[in-house]
């Protein structure tokens, strides 16, 4: 098994990078990890990049009643490319709502597979470990799936990340800030994402902060 996890400590060539996002009432921290580590996921450095296992970002926000988590991966890709579903990659969205904040209290596992009798190029999604859900939520991709007041959707999305890559490169080469907030390298590009909406009272734990991060693991055989 090859595990992608941004904040993992220690050596081993099997470690990939993946985004970490910390969300609480008093603190908000985020990280983007497209094509990281580059030696395993960047096509400029690897002729066979592991696109499916390359987590891009984790976004979270909440309403008065719901927590929404969006994990994006396999991007950026041109709009002519289909979504990326790999049955040999296991994605885990980890939620901590108690001390210590690095302990996983709610692990949510996402995996893809062939859609029953459909041909091998059709996929379905299965999500396990959702709090308050009896069993798994499963069904076709690009479809809103609702069970026990939890809604999930896996499929193709416009890449929501905004970044001026040209300005970043110019800043590095000249030493002078050269960012332009009208330039977005990710505009018009897609990625694959899993979006989950959960009742907030199933996640909240008194006044404890909520920490959320994601990891991917490439398995040696089919799921």
Residue 98 has a pLDDT of: 95
Residue 203 has a pLDDT of: 96
Distance in angstroms (rounded) separating the CA atoms of residues 120 and 74: 19
Residue 192 has a pLDDT of: 96
Residue 35 has a pLDDT of: 66
Residue 208 has a pLDDT of: 94
Residue 23 has a pLDDT of: 39
Residues of the chain below pLDDT 50: 1-2, 4-31, 221-223
172: three-class secondary structure by DSSP: helix
DSSP 8-state symbol, 181 = T
Distance in angstroms (rounded) separating the CA atoms of residues 202 and 220: 34
Residue 14 has a pLDDT of: 30
CA angle 2–117–154, rounded 5-degree value? 50
């Amino acid at each position: 098994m090859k595990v992608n996890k941004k904040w993992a400590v220690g050596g081993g060539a099997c470690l990939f990078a993946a985004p970490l996002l910390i969300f609480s009432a008093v603190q908000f921290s985020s990280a983007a990890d497209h094509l990281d580590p580059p030696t395993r996921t960047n096509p400029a450095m690897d002729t066979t990049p592991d696109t499916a296992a390359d987590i891009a970002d984790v976004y979270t926000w909440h309403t008065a009643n719901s927590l929404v988590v969006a994990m994006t991966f396999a991007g950026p890709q041109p709009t002519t490319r289909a979504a990326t579903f790999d049955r040999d990659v296991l994605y885990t969205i980890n939620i901590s709502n108690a001390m210590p904040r690095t302990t996983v209290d709610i692990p949510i596992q996402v995996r893809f597979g062939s859609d029953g009798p459909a041909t091998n190029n059709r996929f379905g999604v299965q999500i396990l470990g959702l709090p308050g859900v009896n069993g798994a939520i499963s069904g076709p991709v690009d479809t809103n799936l609702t069970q026990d007041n939890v809604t999930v959707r896996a499929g193709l999305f416009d890449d929501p990340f905004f970044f001026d890559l040209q300005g970043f490169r110019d800043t590095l080469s000249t030493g002078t800030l050269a960012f332009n907030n009208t330039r977005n390298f990710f505009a018009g590009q897609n990625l694959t994402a899993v979006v989950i909406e959960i009742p907030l009272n199933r996640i909240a734990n008194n006044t404890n902060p909520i920490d959320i991060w994601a990891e991917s693991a490439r398995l040696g055989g089919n799921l």
